[in-house]
C-alpha cells in the first residue's frame, strides 16, 4: 500500500500557484519524498525529490515540514499544460530499490 495520502482532485487558475499537499506520517528517517506527474496517456514524469530540506528546480518547489510528516509541491505559475495526475511517493535510499509505490494521486486541473 502507498505510504502517502493525497486529495483526489484540485483545481487551479492559470497563472496562479498550485499547491499540492501530501501526508506521509509514517515516513522513515532514510526515506525520500518524490513527486511525479502523469499527463493523460503518457508515462510518469519526474518532478522533484527531497529528504528534509526544501528543494527547488526549474519545474517546482518542494516544501517538507520539519517533522517530515507532510510536504507540499508548489507549481509557481500553473499553465494549462500542468493539468495532470500528481503522485507523491515515499522511497528509501538504500539497496537500489526501484519499487515506487504509487497511490491514486491528485488530479490537478488548471483552468483558463
Partner 1 sequence: DAGVTQSPTHLIKTRGQQVTLRCSPKSGHDTVSWYQQALGQGPQFIFQYYEEEERQRGNFPDRFSGHQFPNYSSELNVNALLLGDSALYLCASRYRLRGTGELFFGEGSRLTVL
Chain residues that interact with partner 1, rule: CB under 8 A: 2, 32, 34, 42-46, 49, 87, 93-94, 96-105
Question: Smaller CB distance to partner 1: residue 18 or 105?
Answer: 105
Task: Write down the least CB distance from residue 5 to partner 1, Å.
Answer: 13
- Name the E strands within the chain: 9-13, 18-23, 31-38, 45-50, 55-56, 61-64, 70-75, 84-92, 106-111
**8 Å CB contact between 104 and 5:** no
Task: Write down the least CB distance from residue 23 to partner 1, Å.
Answer: 16
Task: Write down the least CB distance from residue 109 to partner 1, Å.
Answer: 16
Amino acid at each position: 500500500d502507498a505510504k502517502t495520502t493525497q486529495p483526489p482532485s484540485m483545481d487551479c487558475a492559470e497563472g496562479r500557484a498550485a499547491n499540492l499537499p501530501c501526508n506521509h506520517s509514517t515516513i522513515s528517517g532514510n526515506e525520500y519524498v518524490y513527486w511525479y506527474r502523469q499527463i493523460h496517456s503518457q508515462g510518469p514524469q519526474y518532478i522533484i525529490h527531497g529528504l528534509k530540506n526544501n528543494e527547488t528546480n526549474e519545474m517546482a518547489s518542494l516544501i517538507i515540514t520539519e517533522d517530515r510528516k507532510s510536504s507540499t509541491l508548489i507549481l509557481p505559475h500553473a499553465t494549462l499544460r500542468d493539468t495532470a495526475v500528481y503522485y507523491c511517493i515515499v522511497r528509501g535510499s538504500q539497496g537500489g530499490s526501484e519499487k515506487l509505490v504509487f497511490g491514486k494521486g491528485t488530479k490537478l486541473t488548471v483552468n483558463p
